């Protein structure tokens, strides 16, 4: 069954970018960049946490494997650490995540 969409309602919809611009400023501004960095940290944190749980590994076990404290792993998984690529790579390898840095 086809639905008719109300053009007036569609015209009032905001794009994702419009909402981000309104709340965090336009792309390239300090507040927008800070938001995007934090969002990316949470994205990577979720990947690492999900994989660790998939392996049925504790934060302590992962910390011991990479020579860090459990509190560091907890902070990483909450997206509270401004992680360097080298740290992410070490954690990813310990979790068996294959990274592909090739480009077209």
> What are the per-10-residue average pLDDT scores of the chain (104 residues)?
80 88 93 92 94 98 97 95 90 94 80
User: Residue 93: what pLDDT?
Assistant: 96
Joined together, the tokens standing for residue 4 give: 């008719």
Q: How many Cβ atoms from other residues are within 10 Å of residue 57's Cβ?
A: 15
Q: Options 3.40.50.10540, 2.50.20.10, 1.10.10.10, 1.10.260.40; which CATH number does 16-94 get?
A: 1.10.260.40
Contacts of 95 (CB under 8 A, 6+ apart): 48, 51, 52, 55, 57, 62
């Amino acid at each position: 069954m086809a639905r008719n969409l109300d053009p007036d309602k569609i015209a009032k919809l905001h794009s994702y970018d419009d909402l981000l611009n309104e709340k965090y400023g336009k792309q390239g501004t300090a507040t927008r960049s800070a938001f995007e960095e934090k969002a990316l940290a949470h994205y990577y944190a979720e990947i690492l946490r999900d994989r660790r749980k998939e392996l049925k590994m504790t934060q302590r076990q992962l910390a011991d494997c990479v020579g860090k404290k459990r509190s560091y792993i907890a902070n990483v998984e909450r997206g509270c650490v401004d992680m360097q690529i080298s740290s992410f790579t070490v954690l990813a390898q310990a979790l068996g995540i294959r990274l592909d840095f090739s480009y077209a």
